[in-house]
């Protein structure tokens, strides 16, 4: 069944949720959002979250593959930042589903949480 052009890309959003669906990756995203917009180098993320570098690399790759994290090279360092544009799309999808289309949660409740 073909989806309409207005229908959200469910597979894309499901993959993003799956990528963030482990405690270490959610902690990484939280830390990168706290460091926004500058981001952090991998060694600082590793030290802050007490995640071994090889394990951290695996988690960052998964987040990067789903476009949740951006990477930029600065001489010999890789800087990681949360991709806020993609996160905005993901939050917009959730907001549309729970607060506008289905009214499961009143929109003003979400706005109060954001303050």
CB 81, CB 36: distance < 8 Å: yes
Q: Could you state, in order of their start, the residue ranges of all structural domains in the chain? A: 10-83
- Distances 105 to 69, 91, 96 between C-alpha atoms, Å: 29, 14, 10
pLDDT at position 7 is 67
pLDDT band at residue 3 under the 50/70/90 scheme: low
CB 22, CB 71: distance < 8 Å: no
Predicted confidence (pLDDT) per residue in 51-100, tens digit: 999 999 999 999 999 999 999 998 899 999 999 999 998 988 887 776 66
Predicted confidence (pLDDT) per residue in 25-64, tens digit: 999 999 999 999 999 999 999 999 999 999 999 999 999 9
Q: Enter the tokens of residue 87.
A: 């996160």
Distance CA 28, CA 80 (A): 10
* Nearest to 86, CA basis, from 110, 99, 101, 70: 70
Q: Domain 10-83's class?
A: mainly alpha
Q: Transcribe 80-91 into DSSP letters.
A: EEE-HHHHHHHH
Distance CA 67, CA 33 (A): 14
pTM across the whole model: 0.82
């Amino acid at each position: 069944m073909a989806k309409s052009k207005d229908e959200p890309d469910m597979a894309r959003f499901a993959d993003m949720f799956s990528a963030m669906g482990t405690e270490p990756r959610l902690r990484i995203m939280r830390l990168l959002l706290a460091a926004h917009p500058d981001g952090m180098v991998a060694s600082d993320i590793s030290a802050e979250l007490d995640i071994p570098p090889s394990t951290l690399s695996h988690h960052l790759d998964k987040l990067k593959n789903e476009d949740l994290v951006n990477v930029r090279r600065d001489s010999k360092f890789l800087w990681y930042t949360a991709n806020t544009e993609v996160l905005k799309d993901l939050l917009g999808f959730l907001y549309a589903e729970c607060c506008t289309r289905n009214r499961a949660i009143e929109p003003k409740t979400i706005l109060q949480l954001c303050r």
